[in-house]
Every structure is written in structure tokens, then in C-alpha cells.
């Protein structure tokens, strides 16, 4: 061991120097003052302690529940320890490894892969799991109402998670974004225990041009260079929209159902990977003999699985809906949906379909026509308008970014003949208005301005 | 057939000329309503296309003026959509109400000093009010017809669900959203021309009965409702206001879900003239029986495509220094009960706040 220390000091190469433990598999490398390690499993309680070379423990420098991924930290950051050699001991679940490191003083870390929000989200997932209740679909969970007087605005992060509330954004970074979240989590007085029903509708990733999506996609910088949980990746998004009136195109009464939905989701825009975590409101219209029947319901979905509807939550035109979608790992999704008019809300925790992993390289607010069970695109409901407002996306790094270029992509929807059937407009940084157009509105019925 | 538009163009031009010189506009296409002095405009002939029609024909058939697309492409696009979807011109059945949507009832510094609650955003300072919430934009009008006078205002908004506050169930709560001219600054502070949608909620024995209707009002006159114009929650509504003369306003309103539209000539109350030094987009609680009503728990009303043009086609965004966001306070000036949140240059939403 002494030889090794001499060697590293002489050459300036800081490499792995396990002095305790049998299998040095999770400390991956050391560069300068930064220690890197890998965690293979989720929800692993990980600690790091600094020891003198004589084996006396001086300080605990890392204490977090983390999910699988790569982490790094400076064990001596912020400490006033003398600049000399120490032993840093990592305990990761049942395994312990140690490494000898020189304290280089208060070296600032310009960029760290250690992501506080990712670590926090994993911790919160563990906390929430203690309060989860199974639903009528295996593997899908919900959480009951918090106790009387519980205030989600002032509650601790762990209590928010325990009671099925979405993570809280930083008010200092975006006061308006925080105010929107605050409004969203305080709307509801009645937590619904959802009764779920599997549908055969698929709200799908965006097809190019696009025949199925209309709305706004916000993407982080360099959407192709991130891994799940990186600072630049989408952690959560939320927004408010108003449920439209479902009707068929003016002048039409087809004897069939038209379909439409507005939703918020993560991924599904860039081709790789083809996953999409989403939750929204469906507004479908059937017309026969001049009489229109409508269907409104809330749903969630993780592509490539089909949508699951919530049977016991009331949705009607004009309802103001607040939705937040977030992940607690690459394979665990969460949605919180609140209806301002009925004051009902629900929380759902669900797993990715087998083989699917979230990446978090896009966030979107979309009005869509789904794929029916026969694989065909539905006829879009004439929904007139769906305005979205108070719409924010937050990254694991704790930042939020607006819809304006280069982060936002406005998308119009077209039919098979390339007519625009749904258009989007951006009235501001955190708002998008989608509107039925052309044949979906009843273009042939009008002096068609499109 | 080809001569008819020319003929009608001449008539329209003539009627415009007449309108500028007479208090009572004359237009062969005008239809009397059940209120004397108020006229509607009949539907245009089959095949009339307002998108390609001449300006005089637009006016003749009761459509609002074509905005200059070079000055405001988005404002023009909004107008185009309205032209296309205003398919069903109705002959209005008018009903006088005893509801007054008054001018800006300002919270004075004695009532609340200083105003600390500023969620709205926008270029100018925040105003407090007992009855209004939304945005008002000032222009240094020298009176009707002057370059800086507001000439044309319009917006799109969505009708909310009318209900009472959670746990409340008594009497009727009132609320409405509208676009309007004047009503804030002298010498036009005591008059206001408005066109809007009412969303009131009556509750008794735990059962809520909402009422939705479209109305216009030229204060100090009372609101006049349009009884046969259908309004339901989440209907997309547009309102266009512009003058025919200093004492006659033109109003074009429509519902994009039902495709119904109405075109009206509305005379000013005695002694009142269009002045045009403010244009506003407001969610209000009206005066009922001489008192401020309780505001409906309406959640949110999003406004977008909110434009106001002066005679010289100047338009100010909501982010301009002369645009002011307005917070509505309760009667004791203790709580803000409705306020706007800026979305962008021409969009915002108003939001109900307890109690």
C-alpha cells in the first residue's frame, strides 16, 4: 500500500487503490479530487466516510439513496482537513470499498455527473413505495389522500412523495413556474382511488410531418448525447389545459366515433429511443342521425403499451385540468392529475413495458388522434380549441427552459392528403393553443381559409 | 349576378358616408331588433366569401374590418379564422337586463397601500380594482376619430364552467369576460362599451344551476343579453368591437363551436361618445341591484389573439409600458379574488382566487 501511494504521488496518476473489501467493482475511477463510482441496482443506500491512514473516522461525506447509474463527488469539498492522504470508504448496500486519496483542498468541481435530483428522485421513489396501494391492474399503484391539513406547498420533499404529490420545482429559478405548480397541487380536495380499465387505443410517438401530433415539443440541449438522469434530461413536466367540447366536423355526422386527446408526456419525439410516458384527457365524439354522443375520460400510457383509462374520475367540457408527469427511474413512471372544477385528483405509479426505458430527451404538450385497435389512425374529433398554459418542463439538473427556439418545435397535424387538420400557435413562452382546422373542423363546409 | 356586389358596394360606401354624418346609420341590409335603435345585419348571400370580399362589402354584410396583415400577421390570421367560422348569422332576440358591467372601479391608495400582490406581469404598473381583472391598454386619444384613438378591439377566449366556491351554496354568483373600449381614464372614465359572455352560478340546496349568455353594454346603460345565442362551457368565443360613428358602435361576436355569429349596431346612451383612450380585456363581477356581486368560481379564462388597434393602426402588446394588469379585490380590499397571468404579447389568462 505504501508503494502504491508513492507511485501515484510520483506519477500524478490517481488510480484505483482498494485497501479494504474483496471486490473492487463499484468504484470506477478517480481523477484529481473526484471519485467516480457505479451503482448497479436501484434504491441503494450509499455512504462515504473519510478515514485517516491510521483508520480513524473523521467525517461522513456522502449519504444518499441512489438508483443505478454513474456518480461522482469530491470527498473533501468544503472541508478544512489538512492537505494529506486519507482513506475514503464507500459502503454501497452490503459491499464496502476503500480508496486512498490526497486531499487537494477546496477544489471546485466544474462539472459533475453526480446529479442531486436523480439521487433525490430515487430516494423519493423509495419513500413513496411505503405508502403505495395496488390498483385493479397488477403492477400499477396509487396513493391515498394525505391527512387533513397536509399542505403540499410547505411539506418536506419526502412527505410530498409519500402522499403521492409530484416533485416541487425551485421557486428561485422560476417564480411563475413554481406558482403554477403550487396552484396545481393545491387544486384538489378529493383524492380518488382510481379504477383502471385497459383500452386498445395507442397514443403513439410522433410520426413525422405529422399525421398524429399537434402541439409543442420542448427539448433539452443536445437531445442525442444524454443518458437517463443526466442534468440536461427531462425530470418532469406539468401544465394546465381546458377540456374542449367534442363534436364531429361541422357538416359531418359519420355514424362512427371520432377520437382526440390532449396530453403531456416525456420522450416520443426523437426516433431513438421509441418510448413515451404520457397522461391526458380523451374527448371522443360519435354522431348518428344528427345526434352526437361524447366521451370524456382521463388516461395514462407508456408506449408501446396501450392507454389505460381511469373510470371513476369525472371529466366534462370546460374542466380545467392540471397534469404532472415524472419518472423515478428509467422504468418507473408517475402521473398526478387534478381537475380544478370537480376538485378530484389521482396519483398513479406504473412500470415501463418490458424492454422499454425512459431517456428524457423531449417533453411535449400535444393534442393527438390515436391509433385504433386495427392499427389505423382515428378521425380527429372537431375539438375547436385546446389552450394549454402554465406549462413548464424541468430537468434533472433543476433548470427549466421555454418553448421559444431553439428549444421548442411547433407541430401541426395533417391528414392523409396533407391537409392541416390541427394547428398550433404559441401565444407565449409557457403556453400553446391547439385548434382544429381544415377537414377536421369542417373545411369543406366553410370558405376554407387554410 | 356580377352586378350585385358592385351595387351593394356602392350602397355600403353610401351607408358609411351617411354614418359619419348622421346619428342614425342607414344601411339597406340592416334589420330592426326588438330594441329601438339597435339593428342587426342579415346574413350575406350564399357563396359570399369574406376572405376575398372588398372592404365595403365586408362592412355592408356586417363583418368586422380586415386587419392589415403586414402590421399584424397573427392578428390577421385570427380574423381570417373568424371569417371562416362565422357561418350561421343569427337574428338576435335581445333582452334588457338589470345588470351593470361598470367602468373600472379602482382601488384607491386609501383602501390598499401599497398594493403588494403582483402576479400579473406586463409592461406597465399594476392596477387594483373592485370589479375588473385582466388588462387595459392606454392610448393618448384626442377624442373619437383621432389617430391615437382606439378604433378596433378583438380577442378570443373560452367560456368557463360557472360554479360557486367549494362548500358554498347560496344565491347567485356572477362573472363575465369581455372586450371593451373606454371606462378607465378621463374624460371617458365613466362610460364603457363592452361585449362579453356571462357565466353565473345559482346554487340552492346543494344544486348548482349555471347560466351562460352573450351580452353587450354601453355603460351607463345596462347589459343587453342575446337570448338566442347559445353559449356553453368550453365554447370558443370571439368578440369584435369598432365604431360606426362616435355614437354608434359595431359589434361582431361569434361562437366557434356552434358557428353562430351576430352583427349589431348599438347606439350610445344619451350624452356618451366613443372616446377611445383605453382598450381592455377583462373578467368582471358586475353590479347587481346596486351592489357588487359575488364573483363566480370560474377557475380560469384564457384569452388569446387579444388585439386593439388605433385609427392609425398602431397596436400595443400587453407587455407595452401603457398596458396595465388589473387585480380584482374583495369588498373589504383584503384579498385578491381574480387576477391575470401574462402568457405573451397578446395572450393571458385570468384566474379565480379564494375566498
Q: Which residues contact A92 (CB under 8 A, 6 or more apart)?
A: A26, A37, A39, A44, A46
pLDDT at residue A352, as a whole number: 95
Q: Average the pLDDT over B127-154 and give the result.
A: 95
**Largest CA-CA distance found in chain A, in angstroms, rounded:** 91
- For residue B18, give the 3-state DSSP assignment: helix
A182 to chain B, any CB pair closer than 8 A? The answer is: no
CATH code, A33? 2.60.40.3080
Assess whether A84 and A191 both reside in one domain. Answer: no
The residue out of A69, A96, A113 marking a domain boundary is A113
The residue out of A113, A129, A155 marking a domain boundary is A113
Q: Average the pLDDT over A287-296 and give the result.
A: 96
pLDDT in tens, B48-68: 889 899 999 999 999 999 999
Number of domains in chain B: 1
pLDDT in tens, A234-256: 999 999 999 999 999 999 999 99
* Higher per-residue pLDDT: A225 or B128: B128
Assess whether A39 and A103 both reside in one domain. Answer: yes
A43 to chain B, any CB pair closer than 8 A? The answer is: no
Q: Which of B161, B166, B256 sits opposite A318 (nearest CB)?
A: B161
* Domain presence at residue A133: no
pLDDT at residue A112, as a whole number: 38
* Domain presence at residue A131: no
* Higher per-residue pLDDT: B203 or A24: B203
B80 to chain A, any CB pair closer than 8 A? The answer is: yes
Which DSSP letter does residue B68 get? -
> In the structure, what pLDDT confidence band is assigned to residue A74 with cuts at 50, 70 and 90?
confident
Assess whether A334 and A379 both reside in one domain. Answer: yes
* A contacts of B235 (beta carbons < 8 Å): 245, 384
* Domain presence at residue A130: no
**Is B18 a residue whose pLDDT tops 60?**
no
Contact check, Cβ <8 Å, A430/B259? no
- Buried b or exposed e, range A174-183, using 16+ CB within 10 angstroms: bebbbbbbeb
B159 to chain A, any CB pair closer than 8 A? The answer is: yes
- Tell me how many degrees the CA angle A363-A368-A370 measures, rounded to the nearest 5: 115
Beta-bridge partner residues of A295 = A284
* Domain presence at residue B232: yes
Q: List alpha helices for chain B, DSSP H.
A: 3-21, 55-60, 73-85
Give chain A as a 3 state SS string: CHHHHHHHHHHCCCCCCECCCCCCCCEEEEECCEEEEEECCCCEEEEEEEECCCCCEEEEEEEEEECCEEEEECCCCCCCCCCCEEEEEEEECCEEEEEEEECCCCCCCCCCCCCHHHHHHHHHHHHHHCCEEECCCCCCEEECCCCCCCCCCCCCHHHHHHCCCCCCCCCCCCHHHHHHHHHHHHCCCEECCCCEEECCCECCCCCCCCCCEEEEEECCCCCCCCCCCCCCCEEEEEEEEECCCCECCCCCCCCCEEECEEEEEECCCCCCCCCEEEEEEEEEEEEECCEEEEEEEEEEEEECCCCEEECCCCCCCCCEEEEEEEEEECCEEEEEEEECCCCEEEEEEEECCCCCCCCCCCEEEEEECCECCCCCECCECECCEEEEEEEEEEECCCCECCCCCCCEEEECEECCCCCEEEEEEEEECCEEEEEECHHHHCHHHCCCCC
Torsion of CA B102, B108, B111, B115, to 10 degrees: 110
Assess whether A81 and A153 both reside in one domain. Answer: no
Assess whether A293 and A145 both reside in one domain. Answer: yes
pLDDT in tens, B75-94: 999 999 999 889 899 999 99
The residue out of A71, A94, A113 marking a domain boundary is A113
pLDDT at residue B119, as a whole number: 54
pLDDT at residue A447, as a whole number: 54
Q: Are A161 and A124 in contact (CB under 8 A)?
A: yes
Question: Quick check: bond before A191 cis, omega within 30?
Answer: no
> In the structure, what pLDDT confidence band is assigned to residue B121 with cuts at 50, 70 and 90?
low
- For residue B331, give the 3-state DSSP assignment: coil
Contact check, Cβ <8 Å, A317/B232? yes
Tell me the shortest Cα–Cα distance from B124 to chain A, in angstroms. 18
B341 to chain A, any CB pair closer than 8 A? The answer is: yes
Tell me the shortest Cα–Cα distance from A135 to chain B, in angstroms. 28
**Is A17 a residue whose pLDDT tops 90?**
no
Q: Average the pLDDT over B186-192 and give the result.
A: 95
Assess whether A74 and A208 both reside in one domain. Answer: no
Closest C-alpha among A358, A360, A215 to residue A280? A215
Pairwise CA distance, residues A35 & A72, whole Å = 5
Mean pLDDT across chain A: 84
Assess whether A107 and A163 both reside in one domain. Answer: no
pLDDT in tens, A3-12: 333 333 332 2
* B contacts of A320 (beta carbons < 8 Å): 160, 299-300
Tell me the shortest Cα–Cα distance from A317 to chain B, in angstroms. 6
Contact check, Cβ <8 Å, A426/B83? no
* A contacts of B166 (beta carbons < 8 Å): 189, 343
* Higher per-residue pLDDT: A427 or B286: B286
CATH code, B105? 2.60.120.700
Pairwise CA distance, residues B234 & A319, whole Å = 8
- Tell me how many degrees the CA angle B235-B69-B180 measures, rounded to the nearest 5: 45
pLDDT in tens, B280-314: 999 999 999 999 999 999 999 999 999 999 999 99
Assess whether A213 and A150 both reside in one domain. Answer: yes
pLDDT at residue B24, as a whole number: 44
pLDDT at residue B212, as a whole number: 98
Domain of residue A302, residue span? 141-445
* B contacts of A447 (beta carbons < 8 Å): 49-52, 83-84
pLDDT at residue B328, as a whole number: 93
* B contacts of A250 (beta carbons < 8 Å): 87, 259
Assess whether A338 and A428 both reside in one domain. Answer: yes
Cell of B55: 372592404
Assess whether A202 and A61 both reside in one domain. Answer: no
B237 to chain A, any CB pair closer than 8 A? The answer is: no
pLDDT at residue A99, as a whole number: 74
pLDDT at residue A29, as a whole number: 57
* B contacts of A242 (beta carbons < 8 Å): 158, 160, 234, 300, 302
* Domain presence at residue A34: yes
**Is B230 a residue whose pLDDT tops 80?**
yes
Number of domains in chain A: 2
> In the structure, what pLDDT confidence band is assigned to residue B112 with cuts at 50, 70 and 90?
low
Tell me the shortest Cα–Cα distance from B184 to chain A, in angstroms. 26
> In the structure, what pLDDT confidence band is assigned to residue B7 with cuts at 50, 70 and 90?
very low
Domain of residue B213, residue span? 95-352
* A contacts of B259 (beta carbons < 8 Å): 250
Segment 361-390 of chain A within 8 Å of chain B by CB: 384-385, 387, 389-390
* Higher per-residue pLDDT: B83 or A109: B83
* Domain presence at residue A121: no
Cβ atoms within 10 Å, residue B17? 11
Pairwise CA distance, residues A420 & A64, whole Å = 50
Closest C-alpha among A350, A320, A347, A349 to residue A180? A320
* Higher per-residue pLDDT: A279 or A204: A279
Interface test with A, best of B63, B84, B123, B238 (most A CBs within 10 A): B84
pLDDT in tens, A166-177: 999 998 888 889
pLDDT in tens, A333-375: 999 999 999 999 999 999 999 999 998 989 999 999 999 999 9
* Domain presence at residue A132: no
Tell me the shortest Cα–Cα distance from A195 to chain B, in angstroms. 25
> In the structure, what pLDDT confidence band is assigned to residue A269 with cuts at 50, 70 and 90?
confident
pLDDT at residue A104, as a whole number: 61
> In the structure, what pLDDT confidence band is assigned to residue A326 with cuts at 50, 70 and 90?
very high
Segment 220-279 of chain A within 8 Å of chain B by CB: 240, 242-245, 247, 250
Q: Average the pLDDT over B342-347 and give the result.
A: 93
pLDDT at residue A115, as a whole number: 57
Q: Average the pLDDT over B132-138 and give the result.
A: 96
CATH code, A220? 2.60.120.700
Assess whether A107 and A206 both reside in one domain. Answer: no
* B contacts of A340 (beta carbons < 8 Å): 299-300
* Closest residue on chain B to A319 (Cα): B161
* Higher per-residue pLDDT: A17 or B297: B297
> In the structure, what pLDDT confidence band is assigned to residue A446 with cuts at 50, 70 and 90?
low
* B contacts of A244 (beta carbons < 8 Å): 234
What is each CA distance from B280 to B11, B135, B179, B290, in whole angstroms? 33, 6, 6, 23
Assess whether A194 and A87 both reside in one domain. Answer: no
* Domain presence at residue A120: no
* A contacts of B300 (beta carbons < 8 Å): 240, 242, 320, 340, 389
Pairwise CA distance, residues A175 & A178, whole Å = 5
Among A361-365, B149-153, B225-229, the range scoring the smallest mean pLDDT is A361-365
* Domain presence at residue A126: no
**Largest CA-CA distance found in chain B, in angstroms, rounded:** 66
Q: Average the pLDDT over A79-89 and give the result.
A: 78
B206 to chain A, any CB pair closer than 8 A? The answer is: no
pLDDT in tens, A383-421: 999 999 999 999 888 888 888 766 788 899 999 999 999
Range A421-425 contact pairs with CB under 8 angstroms and sequence separation of 24 or more: A421/A380, A422/A214, A422/A367, A422/A380, A423/A214, A424/A214, A424/A215, A424/A216, A425/B74, A425/B304
* Higher per-residue pLDDT: A273 or B332: B332
Amino acid at each position: 500500500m505504501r508503494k502504491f501511494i508513492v507511485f501515484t504521488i510520483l506519477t500524478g496518476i490517481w488510480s484505483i487503490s482498494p485497501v479494504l473489501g474483496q471486490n473492487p467493482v463499484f468504484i470506477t475511477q478517480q481523477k484529481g479530487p473526484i471519485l467516480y463510482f457505479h451503482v448497479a441496482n436501484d434504491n441503494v443506500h450509499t455512504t462515504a466516510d473519510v478515514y485517516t491512514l491510521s483508520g480513524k473516522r473523521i467525517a461522513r461525506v456522502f449519504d444518499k439513496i441512489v438508483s443505478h447509474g454513474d456518480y461522482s463527488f469530491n470527498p473533501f469539498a468544503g472541508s478544512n482537513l489538512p492537505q494529506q492522504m486519507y482513506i475514503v470508504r464507500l459502503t454501497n448496500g452490503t459491499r464496502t470499498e476503500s480508496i486512498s486519496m490526497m486531499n487537494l483542498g477546496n477544489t471546485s468541481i466544474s462539472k459533475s455527473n453526480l446529479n442531486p435530483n436523480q439521487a433525490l428522485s430515487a430516494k423519493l421513489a423509495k419513500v413513496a413505495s411505503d405508502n403505495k396501494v395496488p390498483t385493479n391492474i397488477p403492477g400499477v399503484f396509487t396513493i391515498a389522500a394525505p391527512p387533513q391539513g397536509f399542505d403540499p406547498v410547505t411539506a418536506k420533499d419526502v412527505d410530498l412523495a409519500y402522499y403521492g404529490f409530484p416533485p416541487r420545482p425551485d421557486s428561485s429559478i422560476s417564480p411563475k413556474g413554481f406558482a403554477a405548480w403550487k396552484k396545481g397541487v393545491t387544486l384538489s380536495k378529493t383524492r380518488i382511488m382510481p379504477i383502471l380499465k385497459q383500452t386498445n387505443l395507442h397514443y403513439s410517438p410522433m410520426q413525422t410531418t405529422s399525421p398524429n401530433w399537434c402541439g409543442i415539443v420542448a427539448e433539452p440541449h443536445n437531445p442525442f448525447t444524454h443518458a437517463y438522469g443526466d442534468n440536461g434530461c427531462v425530470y418532469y413536466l406539468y401544465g394546465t389545459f381546458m377540456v374542449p367540447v367534442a363534436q364531429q366536423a361541422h357538416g359531418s355526422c359519420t355514424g362512427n366515433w371520432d377520437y382526440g386527446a390532449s396530453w403531456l408526456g416525456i420522450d416520443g419525439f426523437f426516433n431513438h429511443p421509441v418510448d413515451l410516458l404520457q397522461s391526458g384527457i380523451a374527448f371522443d365524439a360519435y354522431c348518428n342521425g344528427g345526434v352526437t354522443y361524447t366521451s370524456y375520460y382521463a388516461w395514462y400510457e407508456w408506449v408501446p403499451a396501450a392507454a389505460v383509462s381511469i373510470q371513476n374520475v369525472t371529466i366534462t367540457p370546460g374542466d380545467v385540468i392540471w397534469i404532472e408527469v415524472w419518472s423515478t427511474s428509467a422504468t418507473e413512471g408517475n402521473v398526478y392529475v387534478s381537475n380544478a372544477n370537480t376538485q378530484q385528483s389521482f396519483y398513479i405509479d406504473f412500470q415501463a413495458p418490458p424492454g422499454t426505458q425512459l431517456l428524457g430527451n423531449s417533453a411535449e404538450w400535444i393534442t393527438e388522434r390515436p391509433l385504433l385497435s386495427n392499427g389505423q389512425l382515428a378521425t380527429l374529433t372537431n375539438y375547436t380549441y385546446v389552450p394549454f398554459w402554465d406549462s413548464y418542463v424541468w430537468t434533472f439538473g433543476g433548470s427549466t427552459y421555454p418553448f421559444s427556439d431553439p428549444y421548442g418545435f411547433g407541430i401541426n397535424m395533417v391528414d392523409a392528403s396533407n391537409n392541416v387538420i390541427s394547428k398550433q400557435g404559441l401565444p407565449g413562452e409557457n403556453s400553446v393553443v391547439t385548434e382544429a382546422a381544415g377537414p377536421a373542423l369542417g373545411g369543406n363546409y366553410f370558405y376554407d381559409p387554410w | 349576378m356580377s352586378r350585385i356586389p358592385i351595387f351593394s358596394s356602392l350602397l355600403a360606401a353610401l351607408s358609411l358616408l351617411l354614418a359619419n354624418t348622421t346619428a342614425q346609420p342607414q344601411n339597406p341590409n340592416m334589420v330592426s331588433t326588438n330594441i329601438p335603435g339597435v339593428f342587426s345585419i342579415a346574413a350575406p348571400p350564399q357563396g359570399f366569401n369574406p376572405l376575398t370580399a372588398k372592404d365595403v362589402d365586408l362592412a355592408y354584410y356586417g363583418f368586422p374590418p380586415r386587419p392589415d396583415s403586414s402590421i399584424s400577421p397573427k392578428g390577421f390570421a385570427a380574423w381570417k379564422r373568424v371569417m371562416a367560422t362565422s357561418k350561421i348569422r343569427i337574428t338576435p332576440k335581445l333582452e334588457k337586463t338589470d345588470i351593470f358591467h361598470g367602468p373600472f372601479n379602482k382601488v384607491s391608495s386609501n383602501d390598499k397601500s401599497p398594493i403588494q400582490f403582483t402576479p400579473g406581469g406586463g409592461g406597465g404598473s399594476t392596477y387594483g380594482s373592485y370589479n375588473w381583472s385582466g388588462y387595459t391598454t392606454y392610448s393618448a386619444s384626442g377624442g373619437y376619430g383621432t389617430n391615437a384613438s382606439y378604433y378596433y378591439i378583438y380577442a378570443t377566449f373560452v367560456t368557463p364552467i360557472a360554479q360557486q366556491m367549494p362548500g358554498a351554496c347560496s344565491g347567485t354568483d356572477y362573472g363575465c369576460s369581455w372586450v371593451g373600449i373606454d371606462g378607465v381614464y378621463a374624460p371617458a372614465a365613466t362610460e364603457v362599451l363592452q361585449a362579453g359572455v356571462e357565466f353565473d352560478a345559482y346554487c340552492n340546496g346543494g344544486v348548482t344551476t349555471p347560466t351562460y349568455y352573450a351580452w353587450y353594454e354601453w355603460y351607463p346603460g345596462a347589459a343587453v343579453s342575446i337570448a338566442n345565442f347559445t353559449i356553453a362551457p368550453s365554447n370558443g368565443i370571439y368578440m369584435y368591437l369598432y365604431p360606426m360613428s362616435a355614437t354608434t358602435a359595431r359589434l361582431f361576436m361569434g361562437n366557434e363551436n356552434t358557428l353562430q355569429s351576430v352583427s349589431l349596431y348599438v347606439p350610445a346612451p344619451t350624452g356618451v361618445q366613443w372616446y377611445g383612450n383605453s382598450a381592455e380585456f377583462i373578467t368582471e363581477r358586475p353590479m347587481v341591484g346596486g351592489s357588487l356581486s359575488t364573483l363566480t368560481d370560474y377557475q380560469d379564462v384564457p384569452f388569446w389573439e387579444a388585439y386593439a388597434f388605433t385609427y392609425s393602426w398602431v397596436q400595443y402588446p400587453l407587455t407595452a409600458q401603457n398596458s396595465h394588469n388589473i387585480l380584482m379585490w374583495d369588498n373589504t380590499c383584503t384579498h385578491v379574488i381574480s387576477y391575470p397571468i401574462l402568457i405573451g404579447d397578446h395572450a393571458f389568462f385570468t384566474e379565480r382566487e379564494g375566498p
